Amino acid sequence: MTSSTADRATFGVHSIDHFTLEVPSLAEATHFLTAFGFALEAQAGQLLLRTPASNHIWARIREGARKRLAYLALNCFADDFEPLRAQIVQAGGRVAAAAAQATVEGFWFEDPDGNLLLLRVGEKTSPSYRAKPRLVAGPARTRGACVRAEAPPARPQRLSHVLMFTPDIARVVSFYERALGMRLSDGSAGIVAFLHGRHGSDHHLIAFAQGDAKGWHHSAWDVPDVDVVGIGKMQMQQAGYTQGWGVGRHVLGSNYFQYVRDPWGSYWEYSADIDFVPPGFEWPSGDHAPENSLYLWGPDVPAYFFENTEH
């Protein structure tokens, strides 16, 4: 699936700036996303999602007839913008009109699946180094866990990655490699593929799962450790969101996970300790048997987990 080193793209995006989702009910979205731990701001008919850690707007939610991705905005360095634009066109990216109501500027285009993308010069929101893992256990002779009443609520720190369904995984992976300079981290039997950014990023920044049509599967949000993943699961169950998958640990990416199913059949993932690919590092990508690589431990995968609810 991966291209050879010789025909790799010269330039690459470094981050996801934000994504915009359309959902049928902003009221339902407000309830779900507040419970998940976001700081929400309503502005001009949209919900802006921030995390407590920064003022960055990670996602925008607006009302639409059905849940779907409106667009995905990707950031690059200033010197790379024009070469990247040319590289995208060269790779077959279709130039597109700006998304309706979009307040951000850049180069709008479509990937082979018809997903609307925006290339812009912007902040590097992906990590540039491996965050030091937080020690879950306390030192000797002290209690490692706090009492339950003192446990802080789970709050996302930053966007880690997004995963979309695609009708043709080989085609879309090739496009993201050639047009956007992304690199394949790992894949699994043509069922799922994980791509990272070449300037330092989590093991996956954008991932794809084979489906019968395009669709939005999940966004993943970094939290400090596996305890917060578990607290997040409990927090969402108490808010009435009981469907999902986890707590578990992935093999590809190694992150601890809890996926919470939203009212429209896609997922918001609490993720901790995902693998990091340093700038310029050649990650030894592999093709892994699905039964051996989806998760190291965790509950059985619910039958609805890989449903594409967008058609």
Binding residues for Fe ion, per CB under 5 A?
A: 220, 269
Kindly report the CA angle at 188 between 226 and 14, in degrees rounded to 5?
65
Residue nearest to Fe ion (CB): 220
Q: How far is the CB of 137 from Fe ion (least distance, A)?
A: 26
292, 175, 285, 69: CA torsion to nearest 10: -50
Q: How far is the CB of 160 from Fe ion (least distance, A)?
A: 7
Are β-strands 68-76 and 116-121 bridged in parallel, bridged antiparallel, or unpaired? parallel
Residue 106 or 127: the one with the smaller Cβ distance to Fe ion is 127
Nearest Cα neighbor of 222 from 266, 258, 184 is: 258
Residue 220 or 228: the one with the smaller Cβ distance to Fe ion is 220
Asked if 277 and 201 count as a contact pair (C-beta separation under 8 A), the reply is: yes
Q: State the Cα–Cα distance between residues 221 and 254, nearest whole angstrom.
A: 14
Q: How far is the CB of 208 from Fe ion (least distance, A)?
A: 12
The pair of structure tokens assigned to 106 is: 């850049």
Q: How far is the CB of 284 from Fe ion (least distance, A)?
A: 20
Asked if 16 and 159 count as a contact pair (C-beta separation under 8 A), the reply is: yes
Q: State the Cα–Cα distance between residues 171 and 80, nearest whole angstrom.
A: 24
Helix axis angle for 226-238 and 26-36, nearest 10°, is 140
Give the Å distances, CA to CA, from 222 to 46, 57, 132, 232: 23, 15, 13, 11
Q: How far is the CB of 97 from Fe ion (least distance, A)?
A: 30
Residue 76 or 220: the one with the smaller Cβ distance to Fe ion is 220
Q: How far is the CB of 207 from Fe ion (least distance, A)?
A: 7
Q: How far is the CB of 101 from Fe ion (least distance, A)?
A: 28
Q: How far is the CB of 255 from Fe ion (least distance, A)?
A: 7
Q: How far is the CB of 228 from Fe ion (least distance, A)?
A: 16
Q: State the Cα–Cα distance between residues 193 and 252, nearest whole angstrom.
A: 10
What letters, b where the CB count within 10 A reaches 16 and e where it falls short, cover 236-247? Answer: beeeebebbbbb
Residue 99 or 294: the one with the smaller Cβ distance to Fe ion is 294
Nearest Cα neighbor of 283 from 217, 184, 207 is: 184
Q: State the Cα–Cα distance between residues 225 and 256, nearest whole angstrom.
A: 8
The pair of structure tokens assigned to 103 is: 């307040």
